[in-house]
Amino acid sequence: MITKEELLQYLEKERQAIFQRGDAFFQCAELGFREVETARRITDLLEEWGIPYEKEVALTGVIATLGKGDGYHIAFVADIDALPRKDGKGNIHSCGHSIQTTMGLSLLKALHDSDMLEQTDCKVRFYFTPAEEYIDFEYRDELIAAGKLEFRSGKQNMISLGCFDGVDCVLSAHANGDERTKFDVSSTLAGFMAKKAVFMGRAAHSGAAPHLGRNTLHGATLAMNAISFLKDQFAVEKGLRLNPVLTIGGGSVNTIPDETVLETYVRANDNETLFEACRRFDGCVEHCAKALDLEYKISNTAGYLPLAQSKGLNKLVRENMLLHCSSEEIVESPVSGASGDVGDLGFLIPTIQFGFSGVRGRFHDDSFEISDYENCYITSGKVMLGTIYDLIMKPNCRVQQNKKKYDVKKLEYFGWLHQKPE
């Protein structure tokens, strides 16, 4: 049987090819659900290597499968989408997703070349997932209206299509902006829900007969106060963030406003806080509207769920990091205010997303660049490949998915996602 060291050598051997692929994918920057060229380059390589795959999953996603067994089932997830440049000149991989794409392909090739899965009943599937960045709504909502998609994000659609049914664990990695260390483990990601509250009243002459009207701006103002007091009811570390804005607030000054629209994201670091804060937000709107004899309507657009990582998997990842760096070079459990649709996967399946350094400039900005190829492509790849090796070869390291729990959670999840605008 192949040793871990022998397996990791497959990455070493490919070093130059990996760096070249990394550059090529970094240059190939396409927005979510438009990653046609990126997907073509991925499938061209899979064809060349003779690895089976499905394409056009959730429009532009690709899923490649290694191993035919129905034993332990590992999913490696790589984002493939980019962001628009700030200077208006096309797109840029300013969240580093091209590194994930490159890593996925490196791991696929190493596992394929080593033939290691042929000797086990395990399966490793590589998900090249579109549209992680929560942007470009007009285009995505058009695709939804045309029935081509159900949700705004790649993983949400893939979950809905059943692509992750039967998966035991999800592995992923994302660039971080920490230049002083090599990796982070057990970070949290915040989750969010977009809320839109419409207050409906009655217009009237504001000088001659305001008493005949029902002023919706008053209702919204009352609700804004209640919402800001609400923040006080959650501990700081829960990461609750509410920043309501009024997007419609009235028209002419001589008329009592009969429609006011209040919108906000509700953000939190964990599911419990997010769900509860959404419930109490609705309460603020409802009761403030009722207090002033107004009607109201609340619509929701689900963003991403907070990421709670699997402790068991992170222990394994950390052990694999320590083969390549010292413990001082690993940041433990950082809290991030950012969000990702990997949080949705973490709600359903034991999931990890470790962070790796090696980029500089600002995320989501044109200044973003890859500065340490070794850490981004080779060392991170080894950490991930070593973790996959352990999960395949050492059954006692495995974190098992509970199939019954998954079905129940999936129902709960779709209840959350389907809180769409009426």
Footprint on this chain of Zn ion (rule: CB under 5 A): 95
Furthest C-alpha separation in the chain: 89
Q: What is the DSSP string of 174-224?
A: EE---SS-SEEES-BB-EEEEEEEEEE-B--BTTT-GGGSB-HHHHHHHHH
111 phi-psi bin (left φ>0, alpha ψ -120 to 50, beta other): alpha
**Strand positions, DSSP E, 85-175:** 91-92, 123-129, 169-175
**Number of helices followed by number of strands (H, E) in the chain:** 13, 17
Distance, in Å, from the CA atom of 242 to the CA atom of 246, rounded to the nearest integer, reads 13
Residue 78's DSSP bridge partners are: 128
The nearer residue to Zn ion, 155 or 218, going by C-beta atoms, is 155
CB of 133 to Zn ion, least distance (A): 5
Nearer to Zn ion, 70 or 179 (CB): 179
Helix (H, G, I), strand (E, B) or coil at 113: helix
The residue (of 95 and 227) whose beta carbon lies closer to Zn ion is 95
Nearer to Zn ion, 95 or 313 (CB): 95
d(CA 172, CA 352): 6
Distance CA 346, CA 311 (A): 12
The residue (of 239 and 355) whose beta carbon lies closer to Zn ion is 355
What minimum distance in Å lies between the beta carbon of 363 and Zn ion? 6
What is the closest distance, in whole angstroms, from the C-beta atom of residue 378 to Zn ion in the complex?
Answer: 21
Minimum separation from the CB atom of position 418 to Zn ion (A) = 25
| Closer of 216 and 269 to Zn ion (Cβ) | 269
> Encoding tokens for residue 112?
């394929």
Task: Identify which of residues 58 and 78 has a Cβ nearer to Zn ion in the complex.
Answer: 78
CB of 388 to Zn ion, least distance (A): 21
Residue 314, Cα to own-chain centre: how many angstroms? Answer: 18
Report in angstroms how near the CB of residue 176 gets to Zn ion at its nearest: 10
Shortest spacing between CB 125 and Zn ion, in angstroms: 21
Q: Could you tell me if 300 and 154 are in contact, meaning their C-beta atoms sit under 8 angstroms apart?
A: no
Chain position whose Cβ is nearest to Zn ion? 95
User: Nearer Cβ to Zn ion, position 95 or 417?
Assistant: 95
Q: Tell me the HSE value of 282 on the side-chain side, using a 13 A CA sphere.
A: 12
Name the minimum Å distance from CB 95 to Zn ion.
Answer: 3
